[in-house]
Chains A and B, each alone.
Chain A
């Protein structure tokens, strides 16, 4: 059985939901960060799927696949910055639990 666009999109949706659930429910900021990456990957997956199945006048359109490369590149750069922030946050507060990081409330 060949997978259809719908199968890919369901997989992407599941992946996104898992990521969102992780962001909303987990306490450790590292895990939250990983879940964010998961959501990003879900978006990438749906992009690739649309690219694979969306034909423009009978030909394949690779624009979305090129976009995915850009996203991966930007995500890598973002991880570098994000992790650095988390490290310095840990150094300052000795914790990675988000419940403890509530200084910005009124």
Chain B
């Protein structure tokens, strides 16, 4: 079988599964989960085959949009080390989350709908990974947006879930608008949508560095939306309204990382523009620090993880802005995908045990009741915090070194964020797993079923090992250089110190697992009031505009134009009706007078 066939099967299997579930098997629970998992396993086999065979090249499927040679967009898959590595991440995590969902969604309604949504998501995500040109990527980009909308709004009967789904979709739309403009700008400048063409166009932009910077920043807008960077990050914490497997797969491991993947895809051209790179790096750094601060004061077990995801995505984006090769952000994406997926799945396990209570201050003492969940959680948590010998340490360390090398200001941002990560993760661990149960549900919690635990164990392995040098070499040697820049010993020390300060700080404040949060900072707890600010903007600006429109409509369109013209006609008619005497001889007189008048005019006026 030719490798391009493998790629097409990998891409289309989830679509077939989604269609079959939605159109044929419908409410059949067994068929729904079976088909989705089968498709995920097919994708897994396909993804690994492509990776192991070092598949390379662009394979045309068909001409999708064709207006002659100036404007034609083929539906094609691009295989190279970058897409193959990303393929491995997506296809490895997906089946585990799918299997876990059997356990998590066991008692939920809309089970089949959920699996159809997951399969549709997997198809869209694979489309992003395999896309050979910007337009194709944009279409699949929107498709993951749609599947994200469907899955966040799974409990659509709940207002908060429906609102969160809408918000996620609309906020992404803002970023995608920039993305689309960026695509068009690149097309105007280079005449191509292909990644190879766009990335090879540095020469064309030599005389127009500003145009290149603008185009790159516009493309980056797509990343800001999808990867929840400041200031469009607000949708991600709210997206936690979706079922936890969705949060895990879409809003932690894969979909939100698509923005970083996009940056890696256009990295050769992005790195040509220092201005665009600096904007990217600063956006990432501000996001990493801001989200890290907010994570310290959240109460929702998934909310903390959501902010930590935003923070880690900030790291990746910073990496993309500072790195010398696309391998750097992709390496952190790679390790983060495993440990963050694991963390969300453990959180889901806790949530199921707690009968869907998500407030950490209702939990406590779960360490002994849920030992497997606890141990796997620890693996994920230490990896996220950047503990030595865990995967997160290696990728974060590289980003730190890179930041020190290229930009000292950004370095201090990410260092503080690196100290906050262990702090809020330790806080969460202490409150959830240690101390005494704080509620009835926590008292009676018990370990989750096997179908949920096995994926946790399987994910814990890469969460620990994904950063080791042989693994890194194996997956990234072809993507690009990951050589650590020469940095003073001091940088490593600062990074290590940040980790220990974070952990010790949390232990000092939260030791003994108090019943209530001993520290309460309203600004952090309320997300810097950014959400309120956006709400205010919507209310004042959009509301004001709506009022203006209503005024114009009511008084100008309706009042002046519609009713005004009617009034004029009515008034004239009212005046004229006094001429209708009803006497036939009067009419005859008018008529005769009219004729005489006309004759007079005709005869006198020359």
Contact = CB atoms under 8 A, between A and B. Distances in A.
Interface string A93-106: 00000110111111
A45 interface: no
A102 B583 CA distance: 6
A30 B79 CA distance: 102
B582 interface: yes
Contact of A24 (B577, B580, B581, B585): B585
B549 interface: no
How would you classify the secondary structure of chain B's contact residues: helix, strand, loop or mixed? helix
A99 B585 CA distance: 9
Interface in A12-54: 20, 23-25, 32
A104 B588 contact: no
B580 A106 contact: yes
B589 interface: yes
Contacts of A32: 584-585
A98 B583 contact: yes
Contacts of B578: 106
A101 B584 contact: yes
A48 B19 CA distance: 91
Contacts of A101: 584
Nearest to A104: B582
A105 B592 contact: no
Interface string A80-101: 0000000000000000001101
B422 to A, nearest CB: 91
Nearest to B589: A24
A99 to B, nearest CB: 7
B588 A24 contact: yes
Contacts of A98: 583-585
Contacts of B589: 24
A80 to B, nearest CB: 21
Residue from A32, A99, A106 with most neighbouring chain B CB atoms (10 Å): A106
Interface in B567-585: 577-578, 580-585
Q: Chain A interface residue count: which class?
A: 10 to 19
A52 B585 CA distance: 35
A91 B589 CA distance: 27
A16 to B, nearest CB: 11
A90 B581 CA distance: 21
A23 B583 CA distance: 12
A103 B582 CA distance: 6
A99 B583 CA distance: 6
Nearest to A101: B584
A23 to B, nearest CB: 5
A23 B585 contact: yes
Nearest to A26: B585
Contacts of A99: 583
Contacts of B588: 23-24
A4 B580 CA distance: 44
Contacts of A20: 592
Nearest to B587: A104
A20 B119 CA distance: 93
Nearest to A23: B588
Contacts of A25: 585
A102 B581 contact: yes
Nearest to A36: B588
A104 B580 CA distance: 8
B585 A105 contact: no
A84 to B, nearest CB: 18
Nearest to A20: B592
Nearest to B578: A106
Contact of B592 (A24, A102, A106): A24
Residue from B577, B582, B592 with most neighbouring chain A CB atoms (10 Å): B582
A98 B588 CA distance: 12
A99 B581 CA distance: 11
A97 to B, nearest CB: 11
Contacts of B592: 20, 24
Contacts of A23: 585, 588
A20 B595 CA distance: 12
Nearest to B576: A106
B577 to A, nearest CB: 4
A105 B581 contact: yes
B169 to A, nearest CB: 61
Contacts of B581: 102, 105
Given A20-B592, A24-B589, A24-B592, A105 B580 contact: yes
A25 B589 CA distance: 10
A32 B578 CA distance: 25
Nearest to A99: B583
A101 B584 CA distance: 8
A102 B589 CA distance: 16
B581 to A, nearest CB: 6
A98 B589 CA distance: 14
Contacts of B583: 98-99, 102, 105
A20 B596 CA distance: 12
A83 B564 CA distance: 47
27 contacts: A23-B585, A23-B588, A24-B585, A24-B588, A24-B589, A24-B592, A25-B585, A32-B584, A32-B585, A98-B583, A98-B584, A99-B583, A101-B584, A102-B581, A102-B582, A102-B583, A103-B582, A104-B580, A104-B582, A105-B580, A105-B581, A105-B582, A105-B583, A106-B577, A106-B578, A106-B580, A106-B582
Interface of B: 577-578, 580-585, 588-589, 592
Given A23-B588, A98-B585, 13 more contacts: A24-B585, A24-B588, A24-B589, A32-B584, A32-B585, A98-B584, A101-B584, A102-B581, A102-B583, A104-B580, A105-B583, A106-B577, A106-B580
Interface of A: 20, 23-25, 32, 98-99, 101-106
Q: 10 closest A-B pairs (Cβ-Cβ)?
A: A105-B582, A102-B582, A106-B577, A104-B582, A106-B580, A98-B584, A105-B580, A23-B588, A105-B581, A24-B585
